[in-house]
């Protein structure tokens, strides 16, 4: 029940509404008990003596009115509180997820996180909005009916209530089983969400390799597992009403044997009516218990995620980072993921980047280039050594001020399903239309934007699918230009573009890098010859540093070998050939 208690803490800010709902529930329960009590008057006064007809009639109408008002307002207020709680839980979960480090996302799939945020939260929505209200309202109604039973015949009420444990025990056992089966159902639904998200994202590969039927079979298998898990939940929930009916029938039989000989007609009829009226709230409570168990299962999964802490946080006393003036230093930096510290990705990396310098980081795939630059904005924290900006450890400054000084353009351009203007202004709150257009012009994007149906107000689709690769990159460059950060990270920013697009992007990058400190990850060495410093990484270590000519002067060096391999590929007409040709045309330097 710990998960349920934690969930109920989200309702604490709305205790005023809860108290008002409780007051209306008390009115509902009292009116329900009074209506049952009127049955005695109907039989003993109205039917036998033809007395108090008007009074009883008025009482019936009045109590039904009060019961209706209690039901409406308590339901409305509980639904309001429930919706607010679900909103707050979803916001807390989203904020917690988005605040985690890059390694958190590396260990979890998008489908899994989306399932927690949507399916699990939706599972608790009905419980908080309706079930908790039913729990209190129907429990109060039962209390009212029990009080009436004791008023009519205390001994028979006691006998009847001694059988209550026979009702409660199977409900508890079935509820526990419902929790277990619900958790399995949610896990299978999470796998289904992951599978669908994966195939939707990779739809081009699915179509290119003609694997639609195979993916349909995989999805059908996952959907079938969800079906079986859900049917197990249904089997548990469907067993509750028959159990309740059987136990209720035994109680009614006992009342018949005893009450028919010891009570007046009115008392006996009222007792039996109250007994039967108890069946509806008791049956609803049995379902409430099952729903609460389902809610607990979903809540446990939500709180498991909320209790996972992999955030990169500000240290106590962290201060804002002053604008870059001297340079950046990687001092004996090491990094490895927590679950594989025996095989670190970076080992003792040391290098200095003076303010205004353009530094290229090169090396084979898997050398640790992207990991190294991801440490600068603290997507991960170093596991050894330190990164300093103007002599200050970046862990001692606020994240907001650190990341505010860093702009990024990556090979995988991330755009959002929004307008072009909003994508360019992303992260630059308050940017004017003139500033957005100026950034687009500097990124050589204004012409194609102006030619689009709605210009800067054109919605570009998920991940910018309605744009070409070169157009997406120029939007990303415009975004970095508008942010105007003094430090720039370029990660393979032109490696996947065609010749015409790359020329425009290179020119845009030249504008972007002007008067900035740039750290560039480059795969094609033909584009880094004008760098102020080239750093060669191999298996997580810096093996060489220097300018292009200095490194080529070491024929057995790592850089010279990489360059020779790419030159040979270019002469054979490989993918490097186009890059080498473009270099001879004197295009601006600046591959990421």
Q: Would you call 325 exposed, middle or buried from its count of C-beta atoms within 10 A (0-12, 13-18, 19+)?
A: exposed
Nearest C-alpha neighbor of 499 from the set 582, 591, 442: 582
Q: Give the range among 123-127, 252-256, 289-293, 411-415 with minimum mean pLDDT.
A: 252-256
Identify the sign of the CA torsion 55, 59, 60, 61.
Answer: positive
Q: What is the per-residue pLDDT across 560-586, written as a single tens digit (0 to 9) for each?
A: 888 888 777 656 555 444 443 333 223
Per the model's pLDDT, the better-predicted residue between 89 and 286 turns out to be 89
Question: Alpha-carbon distance 37 to 148, whole Å?
Answer: 7
> What are the DSSP E strand ranges found in 344-429?
346-354, 358-362, 384-389, 392-393, 406-410
Residue 45 pLDDT level (bands cut at 50, 70, 90):
low
Q: Would you call 309 exposed, middle or buried from its count of C-beta atoms within 10 A (0-12, 13-18, 19+)?
A: exposed
Find which of 229-238, 518-527, 558-567, 581-590 is predicted with most confidence, using mean pLDDT.
558-567
Task: Tell me the average pLDDT across 74-84.
Answer: 87
pLDDT score at 351 = 92
Q: What is the per-residue pLDDT across 131-174, written as a single tens digit (0 to 9) for each?
A: 777 778 888 888 888 888 788 777 777 766 666 666 666 666 66
Instruction: Tell whether the model's pLDDT for residue 210 goes beyond 90.
Output: no
With contact defined as beta carbons under 8 Å apart, do 531 and 376 qualify?
Answer: no
Q: What is the per-residue pLDDT across 394-433, written as a single tens digit (0 to 9) for each?
A: 999 998 899 888 888 877 778 888 899 999 998 888 889 9
pTM of the model: 0.70
Please provide the average confidence, as pLDDT, over all residues in the chain: 80
With contact defined as beta carbons under 8 Å apart, do 591 and 492 qualify?
Answer: yes
pLDDT score at 180 = 74
pLDDT score at 258 = 63
Per the model's pLDDT, the better-predicted residue between 461 and 280 turns out to be 461
Find which of 64-68, 200-204, 498-502 is predicted with most confidence, using mean pLDDT.
64-68
52 three-class SS: coil
pLDDT score at 11 = 86
Q: What is the per-residue pLDDT across 357-402, written as a single tens digit (0 to 9) for each?
A: 989 999 888 888 888 999 999 988 899 999 999 999 999 999 889 9
Question: Alpha-carbon distance 50 to 41, whole Å?
Answer: 10
Show the tokens assigned to 408.
Answer: 């990024």
């Amino acid at each position: 029940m710990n998960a349920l208690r934690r969930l109920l803490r989200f309702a604490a800010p709305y205790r005023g509404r809860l108290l008002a709902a409780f007051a209306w529930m008390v009115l509902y329960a009292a009116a329900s008990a009074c209506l049952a009590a009127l049955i005695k008057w109907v039989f003993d006064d109205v039917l036998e003596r033809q007395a108090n007809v008007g009074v009883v009639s008025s009482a019936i109408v009045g109590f039904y009115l009060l019961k209706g008002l209690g039901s409406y307002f308590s339901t409305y207020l509980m639904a309001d509180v429930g919706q607010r709680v679900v909103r707050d839980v979803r916001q807390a979960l989203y904020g917690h997820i988005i605040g985690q480090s890059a390694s958190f996302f590396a260990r979890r799939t998008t489908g899994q996180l989306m399932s927690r945020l949507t399916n699990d939260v939706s599972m608790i929505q009905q419980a908080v909005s309706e079930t908790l209200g039913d729990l209190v309202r129907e429990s109060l109604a039962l209390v009212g009916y029990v009080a009436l039973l004791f008023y009519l015949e205390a001994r028979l009420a006691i006998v009847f209530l001694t059988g209550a444990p026979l009702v409660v025990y199977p409900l508890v056992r079935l509820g526990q089983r419902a929790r277990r089966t619900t958790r399995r159902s949610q896990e299978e639904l999470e796998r289904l969400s992951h599978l669908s998200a994966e195939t939707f994202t990779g739809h081009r590969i699915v179509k290119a390799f003609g694997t639609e039927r195979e993916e349909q079979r995989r999805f059908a298998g996952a959907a079938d597992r969800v079906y079986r898990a859900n049917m197990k939940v249904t089997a548990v929930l469907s067993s509750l009403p028959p159990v309740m009916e059987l136990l209720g029938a035994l109680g009614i039989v006992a009342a018949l044997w005893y009450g028919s000989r010891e009570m007046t007609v009115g008392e006996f009829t009222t007792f039996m009516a109250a007994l039967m009226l108890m069946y509806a709230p008791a049956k609803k409570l049995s379902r409430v218990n099952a729903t609460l168990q389902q809610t607990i299962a979903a809540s446990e999964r939500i709180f498991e995620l909320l209790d996972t802490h992999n955030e990169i946080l500000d240290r106590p006393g962290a201060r804002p980072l002053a604008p870059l003036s001297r340079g950046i230093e990687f001092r004996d930096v090491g990094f490895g993921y927590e679950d594989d510290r025996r095989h670190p990705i970076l080992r003792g990396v040391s290098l200095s980047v003076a303010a205004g310098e353009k530094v290229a980081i090169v090396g084979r795939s898997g050398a640790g280039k992207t990991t190294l630059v991801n440490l600068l904005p603290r997507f991960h924290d170093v596991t050894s050594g330190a990164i300093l900006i103007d002599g200050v450890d970046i862990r001692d400054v606020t994240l907001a001020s650190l990341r505010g000084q860093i702009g990024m353009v990556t090979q995988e351009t991330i755009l959002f399903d929004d307008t072009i203007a909003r994508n360019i202004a992303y992260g630059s709150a308050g940017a004017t239309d003139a500033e957005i257009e100026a950034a687009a012009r500097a990124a050589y994007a204004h012409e194609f934007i102006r030619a689009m149906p709605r210009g800067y107000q054109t919605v570009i689709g998920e991940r910018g699918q309605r744009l070409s690769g070169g157009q997406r990159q120029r939007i990303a460059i415009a975004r970095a230009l508008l942010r105007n950060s003094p430090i720039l990270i370029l990660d393979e920013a032109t490696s996947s573009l065609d010749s015409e697009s790359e020329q425009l992007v290179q020119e845009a990058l030249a504008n972007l890098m002007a008067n900035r400190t740039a750290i560039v990850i480059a795969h094609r060495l033909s584009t880094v010859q004008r760098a102020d410093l080239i750093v060669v990484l191999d298996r997580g270590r810096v093996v060489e540093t220097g300018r292009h000519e200095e490194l080529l002067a070491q024929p057995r060096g790592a850089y010279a070998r990489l360059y020779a391999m790419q030159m040979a590929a270019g002469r054979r007409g490989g993918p490097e050939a186009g890059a080498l040709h473009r270099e001879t045309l004197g295009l601006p330097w600046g591959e990421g």
